[in-house]
Amino acid sequence: MRMANAQRRPRKTATNLSVRDDLVRRAKALGLNLSEVLETALEVAIRAAERAAWESENHEAIDAYNVRAAERGVFSDKWRKF
């Protein structure tokens, strides 16, 4: 039986990286898994870059909405209790 897509492990790609020797030694001394550390850092960096790109692409629409909301309010204003 095949696993659902959500349960599959992502395919890994072997790659060759150059990393400062002192960082590799310190990471190994601490028992850190370099692949896991890199994957985690890449995920964080990618999310940040994607968020920044989305905000840049949509800033005009967001600004226009904020101006409209400031002038006219938003649909939930009459129900909000705060």
Please spell the DSSP secondary structure of 16-63, one letter per residue: -----HHHHHHHHHTT--HHHHHHHHHHHHHHHHHHHHHHHHHHHHHH
Q: Where are the domains of the chain?
A: 41-73
Going by C-alpha positions, the residue among 12, 1, 63, 67 that lies closest to residue 36 is 12
- Mean pLDDT (whole number) for 57-74: 94
- Mean pLDDT (whole number) for 64-79: 89
- Mean pLDDT (whole number) for 57-69: 96
- Mean pLDDT (whole number) for 37-55: 97
The pLDDT of residue 3 is 55
Kindly report the pTM of this predicted structure: 0.69
N-terminal to C-terminal alpha carbon distance within the chain: 52
